[in-house]
Amino acid sequence: MAKKSNQKIKLLYLMKILLENTDDEHGLTLAEISDALGEYGVDAERKTLYDDIDVLTLFGLDIEKRKGRAVTYHVVSRDFEFLFYYFFVARCIVSCEFYIYCTTCYSF
């Protein structure tokens, strides 16, 4: 069960963070990813981040794990169709959350 309402959209925030902050040359560690999620009010433990990254990979995001001084995660390719789908889903979720907020706060 989600501890905070933002936990429900953690995967979308994680996808957003990876798409906006990584590429073939620049990656993020799990600690950096966790800190970035914290800025959205989402708590993330290392173990759950492994699972979340696996889910995003299954969904079609091309995430590469690289081992060096530190393990980093990179989005190495960006498929236009995938990005279009991502923004469509993100917009739908925001619209649904707005609708739920409005119907909870205001009776129609």
Going by DSSP bridges, is the β-strand pair 62-67/71-77 parallel, antiparallel, or unpaired? antiparallel
Backbone angles phi and psi of 4, in degrees to 5: -130, 155
Residue type for position 31: A
pTM of the model: 0.70
Tens digit of each residue's pLDDT (9 = 90 or more) over 55-73 = 999 988 899 999 999 999 9
Q: What is the CA radius of gyration of the chain?
A: 15
Q: How far apart are CA 48 and CA 100, in angstroms?
A: 27
Place 108 in a pLDDT band, splitting at 50, 70 and 90.
Answer: very low
Are 62 and 22 within 8 A, CB to CB?
Answer: no
